[in-house]
């Protein structure tokens, strides 16, 4: 699925997935793409005017970062730092849109939590 897709094509496909009514079992489809390339579309989804895409994006973030932490803890820490920078540098009013997904990442990523706190 992710062969030679452009970032725009990946974003389109991720948004299509997030727009589905019954997404529960389909989060694993995100694993068909390089996880680092899925992160930017997920950040965009958090700002979507469509509540279904926004809230499925929140859940997808937890799923993707948890998997990312299992494969490369440093990549997952980069995402966590990015969230923190965006929350801290809230010049455009994104804190409300970012706080819930950021908090959603912690429960499923205990290993990431300890790595993040200790380093």
Q: What is the pLDDT of residues 36-46, one digit of tens each?
A: 999 999 989 98
Q: Which pLDDT does position 6 carry in this prediction? A: 92
Q: Which pLDDT does position 2 carry in this prediction? A: 47
Q: What is the pLDDT of residues 34-72, one digit of tens each?
A: 999 999 999 899 888 998 998 898 888 888 888 888 888
Please tell me the distance from the alpha carbon of residue 62 to that of residue 104, in angstroms, as a whole number.
6
Question: Could you tell me how many residues make up the chain?
Answer: 119
Global pTM?
0.77
Arithmetic mean of pLDDT, 12-26 = 90
Question: How would residue 7 be classed by pLDDT, with cut points 50, 70 and 90?
Answer: very high
Q: What does the angle CA 59 – CA 63 – CA 69 come to, to the nearest 5 degrees? A: 140
Q: What is the pLDDT of residues 77-103, one digit of tens each?
A: 888 888 777 767 655 556 666 666 666
């Amino acid at each position: 699925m992710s062969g030679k897709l452009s970032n725009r094509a990946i974003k389109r496909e991720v948004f299509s997935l997030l727009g589905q009514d019954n997404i529960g079992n389909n989060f694993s489809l995100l694993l068909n793409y390089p996880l680092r390339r899925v992160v930017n579309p997920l950040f965009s989804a958090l700002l979507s005017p469509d509540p279904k895409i926004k809230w499925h994006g929140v859940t997808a973030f937890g799923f993707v970062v948890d998997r990312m932490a299992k494969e490369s803890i440093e990549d997952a820490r980069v995402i966590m730092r990015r969230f923190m920078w965006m929350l801290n540098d809230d010049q455009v009013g994104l804190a409300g849109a970012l706080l819930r997904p950021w908090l959603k990442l912690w429960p499923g990523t205990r290993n990431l939590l300890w790595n993040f706190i200790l380093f």
